[in-house]
Amino acid sequence: MTATMEKLEQLVRLTRQDVAQLLAKAVELGIEQLWVRTILDLYLRGELSREEAVRSVGAKLVEQAERLREAVLEDTRWGLGLR
- Residue-wise pLDDT for 22-78, tens only, equals 999 999 999 999 999 999 999 999 999 999 999 999 999 999 999 999 999 999 999
Q: What is the mean pLDDT of residues 13-28?
A: 97
Domains of the chain by residue range: 2-79
pLDDT at 1 over 70: no
Q: What is the model's pTM? A: 0.82
Quickly list DSSP for 22-80.
HHHHHHHHHHHHHHHHHHHHHHHTTSS-HHHHHHHH-HHHHHHHHHHHHHHHHHHHHHT
Confidence tier at 83 by pLDDT (50, 70, 90): confident
pLDDT at 12 over 90: yes
